[in-house]
Structure 1
Amino acid sequence: MEVGRLPISATLRGKLISSGYTTLSSLASVSPSNLARELEISNNEAFEVLKLASHGRGLDRSEGSGAIVNGAETAWDMLHKEQFIPRITTSCADLDNLLGGGINVSEVTEIGGVPGIGKTQLGIQLAVNVQIPGAFGGVGGKAVYIDTEGSFMVERALQIAEACIEDMSDYSVLLKKNAIPHQIQIEPKNILENIFYFRVCSYTEQIALINYLDKFITEHKDVKVVIVDSVTFHFRQNFDDLALRTRLLSEMALKLMKLAKKFSLAVRINHLVVVLFNQVTTKFAEGSFQLTLALGDSWSHSCTNRIILYWNGDERYAYLEKSPSLQSASAPYSVTCRGIRNSTSSNKRTKMM
């Protein structure tokens, strides 16, 4: 149960969320005095909040007391299922090969890089490509795009959508030669209508929206990708309380992982991928400064796959830093007027690390 369902004032609810208490379980080990000090409320108010939270947790337990624990499956079934999990193409063959065929649906993938490397471009590309119908090798879904920096460009989304439709037309012509005609009934307008855009201007808005996504995706079952660009922006500015920041990020990461799991396992017909874009920083290791994603090692555990975008001379590269099933490697890519594409360099070979 979420704190948003507690019978308390909107102001008090906002204070709880801002302090990182987004679920009833997060209030389980807090004393009234500590809660009162954190939220700047009276001890009586804090006691009443904890009393209501305790009652809510009791209701959750009683409602689920007759439930049977689910989730056990054999490793063989898991392997068989993974072979048929769809992927979202990046429109760059080299990058798709690096990722084992594209962005894996039903997982949390984190992508980070320096400014200007093409993070937002890739995010828009994925929001468009998730809509490619199954007949053309896509997943035929819709996208949720959460913009924390104000970098989303609808004109750019239109360009990429038009290029995507042209690519499908070329593919259809190729299929017709093999007597498998496919009609393209998608227009750029349709693609833009299937991107649900949210602009958030503070970390409290971001947390509230992440908590709302469960309800939103339940109502829009065709949503198959959630893109957060970028997940760390509001957590790197004016945040003196690092312990609070860690708790807020941990709660948010857990919520996102639960979303990916819920809508890929509980609802078998609907796979969901969460793509988190991150900023980069440097750390001193082994006698030199190295590029790494923001928020440190603890945050890195919140994702299944981790990709770092970087410059190699004038060439853009993607480095697969973390994956449970793929080898670490780098591959080049380009940002063109048509979106993400193969590198124009003559040296396109994937480099194993």
Structure 2
Amino acid sequence: MEVGRLPISASKKGKLLSAGYTTFDAIARTSASDIARDIEVSESEALEILKYVLQTSRLDRSNRSSSALDVCDKGAQTAWAMLNEEKFSPRITTSCADLDNILGGGISCREVTEIGGVPGIGKTQIGIQLAVNVQIPVEYGGLGGKAIYIDTEGSFMVERVLEIAKACTEDLSEYSHLIHKDAQDCVVKIHPNSILENIFYFRVCSYTEQIALVNYLDKFITEHKDVKIIILDSVTIHFRQDFDDMALRTRLLSEMALKLMKLSKKFSLAVVMLNQVTTKHIEGSFQLTLALGDSWSHMCTNRIILFWNSNERLAYIDKSPSLKSASAPYSVTSRGIRNSTSSSKRVKMM
């Protein structure tokens, strides 16, 4: 439930989000005096907010009860149906055959995938590649969808997107010539400029903006139903700064991850969250690990760690309910993500 629905000023909504009141449930569990203190308003104003929340929550609970009865009427989903749903879930190619291989064909829709690694390893490059590849037409094995790109670090470079988009259309044209004899059939009906038009870009500069945007995505995707991937680059930066209350940070991250998971299921789309690394003291030594702590590691369906092995980039499936632990090499080229030039045939099962 969105704080954005409250009939109060934008500044007060921002203060509520900053204080950790991201849902009506969070507000309903708090006293008017606590709300007044946290967002610096009078107790009477806080009481009005609390009254509105409680009244609206009662109506929503009534509606949810009706929805719950509808779910019961439909009956349970069988494990066999779930298996087939997972098996035939659409996937988005990474443009690296070895990486697609260990991912079961690419990044899966209806799931949240976390991709993390050290600076310069190619996280943003993979994000951009997926935003382009999701638009590959259905007749070429793609989804023909659109992408949402959420940039928290300012690392999104539109010139680089155009470069990868041009390479994608060239690859499709070459593939078309191989499978079609008729010259007219070889025409690829996708242009680099149209690829850029189909990437919805959001720049967020604080964790409150990040939370507010995630809350808004349900409405946005309802209006743009052809969106098939959400890329968050990165989930980390605004949650690593100015957080003395780690319990609050964990709660905010958990709520955000849950909302993204619900979006992936509701709209049958892929969610890809890019993450940074940090150091952790393990068995007497400091080791690199993905940021945001152990609790965050359980909030995604799949977790992929990118790392260097000498001069070669490798991707390792660290966690997945359906994929085996495995690693595969990949390269970042001028044309985007591709097979590793040194050992593209080597895929190691762990």
CA–CA distance in structure 2, aligned partners of residues 159 and 187 of structure 1: 12
Contact (CA 8 Å) 2:98, 2:344: kept in 1 or not?
no
Contact (CA 8 Å) 2:97, 2:339: kept in 1 or not?
yes
Match of 1:294 among 291, 294, 303: 291
Contact (CA 8 Å) 2:148, 2:227: kept in 1 or not?
yes
How far residue 147 of structure 1 moved from its aligned partner, in angstroms, is: 0.4
Note the 1:264-279 alignment, pairs <5 A. Answer: 264=268, 272-279=269-276
Correspondence for 2:326: 329
Does the residue aligned with 1:333 lie in a helix, a strand or coil? strand
Match of 2:149 among 141, 145, 149: 145
Match of 1:73 among 74, 77, 81: 77
How far residue 238 of structure 1 moved from its aligned partner, in angstroms, is: 2.2
Q: Are 2:205 and 1:201 aligned?
A: yes
How far residue 154 of structure 1 moved from its aligned partner, in angstroms, is: 0.5
Does the residue aligned with 1:21 lie in a helix, a strand or coil? coil
Q: Which amino acid aligns with 1:34?
A: D
Q: Are 2:240 and 1:236 aligned?
A: yes
Q: Which amino acid aligns with 2:266?
A: K
- Given the superposition, is the C-alpha separation of residues 174 and 244 from structure 1 closer, same or farther in structure 2, using an over 3 Å criterion? same
Match of 2:161 among 137, 157, 160: 157
Contact (CA 8 Å) 1:33, 1:46: kept in 2 or not?
yes
Correspondence for 2:280: 283
CA–CA distance in structure 2, aligned partners of residues 50 and 34 of structure 1: 11
Could you list the per-position Cα deviations for residues 60-87 of structure 1 after superposition, in whole angstroms to 9, with x for gaps in the alignment?
A: 1233443324272101111122221110
Correspondence for 2:102: 98
Does the residue aligned with 1:66 lie in a helix, a strand or coil? helix
How far residue 182 of structure 1 moved from its aligned partner, in angstroms, is: 5.1
Correspondence for 2:27: 27
Contact (CA 8 Å) 2:280, 2:289: kept in 1 or not?
yes
Unaligned stretches of 5+ residues in structure 1:
265-271
How far residue 129 of structure 1 moved from its aligned partner, in angstroms, is: 0.2
TM-score (norm. length: structure 2): 0.94
CA–CA distance in structure 2, aligned partners of residues 263 and 327 of structure 1: 26
Correspondence for 2:256: 252
CA–CA distance in structure 1, aligned partners of residues 243 and 283 of structure 2: 29
Correspondence for 2:54: 54
Correspondence for 1:112: 116
Correspondence for 2:140: 136
Correspondence for 2:45: 45
CA–CA distance in structure 2, aligned partners of residues 306 and 178 of structure 1: 44
CA–CA distance in structure 1, aligned partners of residues 183 and 154 of structure 2: 46
Q: Which amino acid aligns with 1:7?
A: P
Could you list the per-position Cα deviations for residues 27-77 of structure 1 after superposition, in whole angstroms to 9, with x for gaps in the alignment?
A: 232222332332233333222221111111011123344332427210111
Q: Which amino acid aligns with 2:112?
A: V
Could you list the per-position Cα deviations for residues 220-248 of structure 1 after superposition, in whole angstroms to 9, with x for gaps in the alignment?
A: 01100000100111111222222222222
Correspondence for 1:268: none
Correspondence for 2:16: 16
CA–CA distance in structure 1, aligned partners of residues 183 and 199 of structure 2: 33
- Given the superposition, is the C-alpha separation of residues 74 and 182 from structure 1 closer, same or farther in structure 2, using an over 3 Å criterion? farther
Q: Are 2:124 and 1:127 aligned?
A: no
Q: Which amino acid aligns with 1:345?
A: S
Q: Are 2:266 and 1:262 aligned?
A: yes
Contact (CA 8 Å) 2:147, 2:199: kept in 1 or not?
yes
Q: Which amino acid aligns with 1:274?
A: V
CA–CA distance in structure 1, aligned partners of residues 194 and 257 of structure 2: 31
Tell which deviates more after alignment, 165-174 or 26-35. 26-35
Does the residue aligned with 2:278 lie in a helix, a strand or coil? strand
Correspondence for 2:63: 63
How far residue 165 of structure 1 moved from its aligned partner, in angstroms, is: 0.6
TM-score (norm. length: structure 1): 0.93
Correspondence for 1:269: none
Aligned residues: 346
CA–CA distance in structure 2, aligned partners of residues 28 and 69 of structure 1: 26
Does the residue aligned with 1:225 lie in a helix, a strand or coil? strand
Could you list the per-position Cα deviations for residues 8-34 of structure 1 after superposition, in whole angstroms to 9, with x for gaps in the alignment?
A: 222221111222222212223222233
Tell which deviates more after alignment, 243-252 or 318-327. 243-252
Tell which deviates more after alignment, 32-41 or 155-164. 32-41
CA–CA distance in structure 2, aligned partners of residues 257 and 219 of structure 1: 19
CA–CA distance in structure 2, aligned partners of residues 312 and 180 of structure 1: 46
Unaligned stretches of 5+ residues in structure 2:
none
Does the residue aligned with 1:20 lie in a helix, a strand or coil? coil
Q: Are 2:302 and 1:305 aligned?
A: yes
Contact (CA 8 Å) 2:330, 2:344: kept in 1 or not?
no
How far residue 337 of structure 1 moved from its aligned partner, in angstroms, is: 0.3
Q: Which amino acid aligns with 1:134?
A: V
- Given the superposition, is the C-alpha separation of residues 351 and 227 from structure 1 closer, same or farther in structure 2, using an over 3 Å criterion? same
Does the residue aligned with 2:154 lie in a helix, a strand or coil? coil
Q: Which amino acid aligns with 2:347?
A: T
Correspondence for 1:3: 3
